[in-house]
Structure 1
């Protein structure tokens, strides 16, 4: 792991970053701006493993051929304590602004819609269609492909403030922002003791498949269970995303397992849990959803290993 202490102390980027969780510092590393997310143990001791979730989940998104922020796992000495951190490369190019979808949704609100942070699915899709920053069909494709991977990783907090569009006001051009802010994937609040209990207790493990987490997206005011949504949706863009992304996840599952196994800092319990839960979410949520999507889309099924 890279020690970022010297960069944190002597090479600031003079950039500040928002978001609710953790300590975030802007640095210059290898002549590029990065954001350091540093391990932070708050009074409730929540999300202490979000650094690991950010790093692993971002790498998995990239392994699935989805453009994602570049991440480097490291450490810093802060307040005389060694802490885990992840360096996230700032993906904004000169002249670009990140317009989070929250802001984009705010710009197209109607009298009948909630504010930009509202997570009702119909409102989100309507806002995507109404916005003029980037072609709506490409935004929806990105939205649903990200949703499928979030279902795989168990992301409970893909809200309107952690995805968006990069706009260059000088060149009048725009592009989709790489996937970022994945710290709410892979059950970051769980300690190794929790994970050991989950692995040894089938009912608790099944709850992590079928009951927790729910997606942040709401339908009729209710947060959706990933498996129920994917096995009942008739949204064609979502079905297309399932048909595209799930076979890639299936194909890359061995590589993902090997990647997790070879992260030295992970305990054996955490490695076992991550690989077990990802295999179960793939087999019990994604593959049944793929079988259904292929039928609805009249796609000839390819043999898949479970």
Structure 2
């Protein structure tokens, strides 16, 4: 069983963090700087949603799934602060490095280049072929290995954990005066349908059709050249992109569902009167993960292997 840490008395680091996924504060803990992610208040959302999202739990689980797949990801720890469950994320911007996200890097691409459906330098463009083309033309990427592989590893893994908020602002590189490298994967708090109510989870857990619907209800920020939304699981299953196919092969090679099951069950239900996770949540999300593997990811991998 993991330890859910007590951050109530951890001193503030005076570091501040952006984003729109809820409150964030910087603390100093265990001789390092950490970012605490709080659950976001959902009062402005329509429909049946919980009072607060399960974003901290989603960040922790999503990040640990990445780690289990041998993908470099930021360090995360569950804890309690202000009487709420939080996810502590180790601040990886240190030692003279600066984080540059893909949006800002894409802004450096020459607009006179051909092969783009929109301005090549448009950092907010999420046209998938344009994103891939930009990766090939961003200068610093030429000196950093495996950038394209990282993109597709995130594409496949985000589809698996239903991280629906991967975009141009939450992946990138670390650059100092003397070195540059890929930043670890971060921003996984929109995984695992973090706004589903416990009541809805309980209802859907025992309905095969609804479980199937939820397992396949995965979307992304990316669109086609025609502006049509790209459904990640359908895109992966199409086998149309060799780099995506290679990422799927890496995914299957490292996937260990027993490790992921243990991950869910190593989290305590309650700590110091704060609810952390319950059995319906575990069973529901593990069922969705298993469905995606058995009905999309593994069959696609097997079909690709047979075609070689």
What is aligned with 1:33?
A: 33
Q: Deviations over 1:252-288 (max 9, x none)?
A: 1111111102211310110111211111111112112
Equivalent pairs, count: 285
Counterpart of 2:273 in structure 1 is none
TM-score, reference length from structure 1: 0.88
| TM-score normalised by the chain length of structure 2 | 0.88
State how far apart, in whole Å, the 1-side matches of 2:165 and 2:110 are: 22
**Runs of 4+ displaced beyond 6 Å:** none
**Matched residue, 1:301:** none
Alpha-carbon distance in structure 1 between the residues aligned to 2:111 and 2:85: 44
Q: Give, in angstroms, the shift of residue 86 of structure 1.
A: 0.6
Query: 2: distance between equivalents of 1:223 and 1:155?
Result: 15
For 1:281, the equivalent position in structure 2 comes to 292
The aligned residue for residue 141 of structure 1 is 149
**1:85 match:** 86
Consecutive unaligned residues of structure 1, counting only runs of 5 or more, are: 299-306
CA-CA distance at 1:231 after TM superposition? 1.6
Partner of 1:302: none
**Unmatched segments (≥5 aa) in structure 2:** 269-275
RMSD: 1.6
Change (3 A) 1:254 1:193: same
Higher strand share: 1
Distance 1:109 1:280 in 2: 43
> Residues 109 and 127 of structure 1 are in contact (CA less than 8 Å); yes or no, is this contact kept in structure 2?
no
Structure 1 residues 216 and 233: CA distance shift in structure 2, 3 A: farther
After superposition, residues 121-270 of structure 1 pair within 5 angstroms as 121-135=128-142, 138-168=146-176, 170-171=177-178, 173-210=179-216, 212-219=217-224, 220-249=226-255, 252-264=256-268, 265-270=276-281
Cross-structure match for 1:303: none
Q: Which of the residues 68, 79, 88 maps onto 1:63?
A: 68
User: Which shifted more, 120-129 or 223-232?
Assistant: 223-232
Task: Name the residue aligned to 2:18.
Answer: 18
Asked whether the equivalents of residues 134 and 174 of structure 1 are also in contact (C-alpha less than 8 Å), the reply is no
CA distance in 2: counterparts of 1:15 and 1:110, whole angstroms: 36
The C-alpha deviation readout for 1:4-25, integer Å capped at 9, x for no partner, is: 1211xxx222211111111100
Cα shift at 1:109: 5.3
Matched residue, 1:98: 99
Q: CA deviation at 1:295?
A: 3.6
Please state how far the C-alpha of 1:292 moved relative to its aligned partner. Answer: 2.8
Aligned to 1:2: 5
